[in-house]
Chains A and B, each alone.
Chain A
Amino acid sequence: MMIDALPLSVTLPLIGAFAVTVSPGHARGPGLLAALLTAASALSVTAAVWSDGVLRADLGGWGVPLGIALEADGLSAAFLAMANVVALAISVYAGGYFKQESARHFWPLWLLLWSALNGLFLATDLFNLYVTLELLGLSAAALGALTGTREAVAANLRYLLVGLLGSMSYLLGVALVYAAYGVLDIGLVAEAIEPGPIAWTAMALMIGGLILKAALFPMHFWLPPAHANAPAPVSAALSALVVKAAFYLALRLWLDVFAPVLNEAAANLLGTLGAAAVVWGSWRALRAERLKLLAAYSTVAQMGYLFIAFPLLVATPPGLARDNLLAAVVLLALTHGLAKAGLFLAAGMVQKTAGHDRIDDLGGAAQALPAATFAIGLAGVALIGLPPSGTFLAKWMMLEQAMILGLWWWLVVMMIGTLLAAAYIFRVLSRAFNREPTPYRFVNDARTELPALLLGLIATFGLGIAAQPLWVLLEQGAFG
């Protein structure tokens, strides 16, 4: 029964996508049902990994190297859980957000994206990973252009091309690996790989393609316009999930495939780019005039933090310290995912109420929507990295490890990023205090405000106070 949940979390959204395509007039009901079932099956996968260990399903009974296999270890189960909680919240929100006409286009693409996402977390072979990556990029770019405005279409066309370039580069790497070793399953490649020009080139191509998709500085140029111009629930999915998926895959390859051929120079390059992303992204977020553009630049910065983990990971010898560091990085990624989605969903509410999202003119709207403002506040706390959020714990552990290693400059970079983040978040929050008296009701539109608020709450009070289960989960598989 538990084994079945693995393929179900990929196929259920696919079936749902088919159903809503068949009856586009009534997309919301079946769409929400598919969302609920998908999230339930994905969370049951995580629960099973948490209690029983690594789960594996060989589809059709064919084993490696012939069949398609799905596998969930601690790392994938953790990302899977975060992604599905966020996706469910986005679905509920979208049910209240989209009008009839846009809903018709939203649901099929959204469920397709969800299926690709779950597939990406669970696939075990490099080529299947490519397929999910490509599918993810295509559906994401299509969703981003949903508003149909000129800016949105232009930005997402660019996003589409960049995404194709990224997956192409990844695919070239996969082809190299296949030509050299004749296998594609992650476990088998890891056994076969040895240091040399082929492995290095493959690594450069694959990781290079992924950092393009993860919008690591200076390859971030496509992200802000694409994410800022999409409808709010789509922005949330793009910023919280799609770029995180590319990071997940980079981390997975780094840990499981290329571990024998790693070197410090590559890690330092990634870390340096991450540091530049933290400073540049935060600075641009601070200067942004629109709330959603601010959130998009903040994503650029937050992706930077994640890549700072690579030099720390390489410098830490295997053992308890490294496991803790890895868990901290995952915690950082998960908290960002939840918080960023919460921020975009709340921003969407503010934008809808005010009719615009120019930060300087937001006053009354913020005050009229306490729940949305609180969601922005809670998400903001997590994005800055203040207690009691998961990011605070994660940053504390990463920085402590950096200081133990004597790599103090990462601490400087991250503190600069933290202060800049505080500045841009409070630039928004300060708009909530003005003299326009409004009738105070905490929740005004439950279906859209509660998902945003809940995501913010999980990111701060949930992961910030009880992060312990993540460690239990991550002991399964990859870092056992």
Chain B
Amino acid sequence: MNFDAWLPAAILLSSMIPGMLIFLLREESHRLRTVLNMTGALLKLGLVIWMIGGVYDGHRYETRWTLAPGLDLVLRADALAVLFVALSTLLWLVTTIYAIGYLEHSPNRSRFFGFFSICVSATVGIALSGNLLTFVIFYEILTLATYPLVAHRGTPDAAHGAKVYLAYTMGGGALLLVGAIWLQALVGPVEFTQGGILGVSPEEIRIELILIFFVLLAGLGVKAALVPLHGWLPQAMVAPAPVSALLHAVAVVKAGAFGIVRVVYDVYGVEFAYANGLLVALGILASVTIIYGSLMALTQDSLKKRLAYSTVSQVSYIALGASIFGPIATIGGMVHLVHQGLMKITLFFCAGNYAETLGVHKVSEMDGVGRRMPWTSLAFTVGALGMIGVPPVAGFVSKWYLGLGAADAGSNWVIAVLIASSLLNAAYFLPILHRAWFRPAPKQWPQEHRHAGRLEIAGALLWPPVITAVLALSAGLFAAAPFTPLEWASLIAEREYGR
């Protein structure tokens, strides 16, 4: 047994084991819990950095474990997997710090952090999945691990939101399972392979393969919040802020989008999907979702709901990138996987800070928050501008590559979608920024908790959004430097198209 065969498993276990230990802790052992959390997060980060270097050099890391004859659990680090693993590991570290600060003095923290760690382990498992079976396994575990987080508050609202979430994701999981079993019965074990495995499939099962594509897409579309399967996402907003942040930026919606990317590129193969019209269907679905999500965001007064609909819209850029035939659009979609994560997590951290410090939950209550909480608002501004696609924030880079790729592939309607969506993004984000910076503050905030220290809010709550905002900014500013998300996405596109 060499180390290469153990690295993927070690990365998975570095959050799984602390999670399980945390369940066993008594509620009052704060310090031990924090130590376990941070040890896991830092260890994972170290292992992932190691792996990035290796994969860049063409190293092959694969853990293979036979569950039962013919059913292998495969964890493999290819370039695409590493992109997602790195994102989730980095953001898990930041979110853990935030959550420790956010949940200070609230009940049931052992349960919360236990499931939080398992949730991240499942996400990393999804990222590293080397075949469809493994993907399904971790996709379902993710559902199981996030349910308790959504229900965590225990209010009737939370119970309702969790129920809706569960109904959607269980249904989606069942569809994914059906699609996966059906596909496997047709073509045997489905290993994720660059360039896809169905290019050489016989002609007579073509129709069935196309049907299966849509079954899989429906299953994945639930978590990716493709319209009309997005209904759970705004409801799940009842979860505590760090959970929303993680759900929207890393764990759940990204798992769905990542799955779509995997199925298009590494199962069907982009050429097969293109030749059979599957990409057009995906592109239309993604476009509808992008526009619909933005329109809905426009009408929301609740800040978290507005951000939720914005997620519905933004995550579909990833699917849109996958739906355009050509390496440039692929780069745009893949890089947005990371960029959207950085920007959206910033926005949710900030929304949590407004709610914690000022009791501000609604857009209409945000007048003058800029002066009251300048650092938080600065981070929020960076995230919002990035979402609109203003250079030099990361979101601009994604949109630029998507547009360029669309023009390259001759899909001009995609450019129209991008422009419309950017205008809508501006329409729902700019008024917030205007209120925050240029309107006078009210005499009294809805529910103010003045922080005793020098900062506007506790450090554990302030630094995470500031750090992610800086990352989002630098991912755009230094996009051409080595080891940026953009460089990495180009590497993936190069390997997927193989030319």
Contact = CB atoms under 8 A, between A and B. Distances in A.
Contacts of B144: 381, 386
Given A387-B140, A388-B137, A433-B162, A471 B68 contact: yes
Nearest to A404: B185
B154 A411 contact: no
A59 interface: no
B163 A430 contact: yes
B26 A440 contact: yes
Interface stretch (A43-51, A68-76, A414-422): A414-422
Interface in B91-132: 107-108, 110-111
A400 B159 contact: no
Interface stretch (A7-15, A103-111, A204-212, A390-398): A390-398
Given A400-B184, A430-B163, A468-B68, A435 B140 contact: no
B133 interface: yes
A342 to B, nearest CB: 16
A268 to B, nearest CB: 20
A430 B185 contact: no
Contact of B23 (A327, A404, A442, A465): A442
Contacts of A370: 23, 111
Nearest to B138: A387
A310 B173 CA distance: 27
Nearest to B148: A433
A393 B170 contact: no
Nearest to A374: B23
Interface residues of B, number: 47
Contacts of A396: 71, 133, 177, 181
A324 B138 CA distance: 24
Given A393-B71, A411-B181, A468-B67, A430 B159 contact: yes
Contacts of A381: 144
Contacts of B66: 468
Contacts of B68: 327-328, 331, 393, 397, 467-468, 470-471
B136 A415 contact: no
Contacts of A392: 137, 140
Contacts of B155: 435
B26 A441 contact: yes
Contacts of A434: 154, 159
A397 B67 CA distance: 12
Nearest to B133: A396
A23 to B, nearest CB: 39
Nearest to A471: B69
Interface string B130-159: 000100111011001001100111110011
Contacts of A388: 137, 141
A404 B170 CA distance: 25
B177 A433 contact: no
B185 A403 contact: yes
Given A426-B147, A440-B108, A403 B70 contact: no
21 contacts: A331-B68, A386-B140, A387-B138, A387-B141, A388-B137, A392-B137, A392-B140, A396-B177, A400-B181, A400-B184, A415-B178, A433-B148, A433-B154, A433-B159, A439-B27, A440-B26, A442-B23, A442-B24, A442-B110, A468-B67, A468-B69
For the complex of A and B, the 4 pairs showing the least CB-CB separation, nearest first, are A403-B185, A440-B27, A387-B137, A433-B151
Given A388-B137, A430-B162, 12 more contacts: A387-B138, A393-B67, A400-B185, A403-B181, A403-B185, A415-B177, A426-B163, A430-B159, A433-B151, A442-B110, A468-B66, A470-B68
Interface of A: 324, 327-328, 331, 370, 374, 381, 386-388, 392-393, 396-397, 399-401, 403-404, 411, 415, 418-419, 422, 426, 430, 433-435, 437, 439-442, 464-468, 470-471
